[in-house]
Amino acid sequence: MTVLVTDTGFGPETWDAGFTALDDAAAGTTSLDVASDTDPAVLLTQLDGVTMIRVDFPSFADGRGFTIARQLRLAGYNGRLRAKGHVISDQYAMARRCGFDEVEISDDLASRQPEKDWLFRADWQSHDYQARMRGAAAV
């Protein structure tokens, strides 16, 4: 089983349409599973009708998924974007800033990093460098 992490905490799976591997995608595909080594430029050519993209994180040290998310958002993709795999709570704010809507983690990771650890980082818009600088300038 898996746990979805959003700004409101842990929740169950809410996507029931399944996922199609990028290499198997055909016309009419609505959701894609994307590997961390996917070229964002190639991915951008296959988004017609896609409403959900799940990007794999094979290791918490592999940050290529953040780049994919950012490139998708900069290119105008406004569908649902999910990080899946070895994303740790310390990376949640970065995932949200890059454009992910949610993170899918294993039950095992959820037990090692409880909901409170993720919620601590859920106010990601207020706790970045620029927000701190704006706050200091207002004083």
Check residue 138 and give its pLDDT. 52
Judge whether residue 139 has pLDDT over 60.
Answer: no
Domain that includes residue 112, residue range: 2-138
Name the more confident of 27 and 97: 97
Judge whether residue 125 has pLDDT over 90.
Answer: no
**Model pLDDT for residues 40-86, shown as the tens digit of each residue:** 998 999 999 999 999 999 998 999 999 999 999 999 999 999 999 99
Contact 85, 68 (CB under 8 A): no
- Tally the residues of the chain: 139
CA distance 58 to 66: 12
Check residue 38 and give its pLDDT. 95
Residue 24 sits in a domain whose CATH number is 3.40.50
Q: Give the count of domains, the chain.
A: 1
Sort strands 102-106 and 2-6 into parallel, antiparallel or unpaired.
antiparallel
Phi-psi domain of 18 (left: phi exceeds 0; alpha: psi -120 through 50; beta: other): left
Q: Model pTM greater than 0.85?
A: yes
Q: Tell me phi and psi for residue 83, to 5 degrees.
A: -90, 140
Name residue, tokens 């190639």. Answer: 42
* Residue 34: burial class (beta carbons within 10 Å; 0-12, 13-18, 19+): buried
